[in-house]
Structure 1
Amino acid sequence: NDLSLKTIAALRANTEAGLSHFEALIGAKSLSEVVELQTAFLRKQVEMTVEQAKDFQTVASKAAEDVSKPIKTAFEKAMKEVKIA
């Protein structure tokens, strides 16, 4: 569920950034301004992508830990029982 929410938030942020960039490009008065806007946009997109990847990694690690916790607990319990016997 958390991963789905992070995905939706990332898609929303990327879409809003793209639309804002498009609006800025429409208002550009010269080719040099377009190049400047494009460069700044690409830099910001790379930074945003890196941050989103870190967030996804954190959420995915937590999800994997949550899923494997019952299995780990059952395995540890079984090993204790084997040692007792």
Structure 2
Amino acid sequence: VNRILVDTGSSVDILIAKTFNKMSLKDIILIKASPVYDFASQPITIKGSITFLMVLGYEKHIITQMVDFLVVAQTVI
């Protein structure tokens, strides 16, 4: 994945299952995650969670950080 949107104010980091599947990580087992609810208190279908090593920035301005993502079945707004 070349570009992502990072929302530093969010409580959870979301990865849509469609994007996860495009990453060719079929051998990776997702960790069971707690339920999450949208703004209307409707449950969001969670496939699981995964931790990625993220490299953010470019040239001299790079940071590396482990980030936990929830993999969700549908697009979440």
Q: TM-score, normalised by structure 2?
A: 0.20
Q: TM-score, normalised by structure 1?
A: 0.19
Larger radius of gyration: 1
Greater helix fraction, Structure 1 or Structure 2: 1
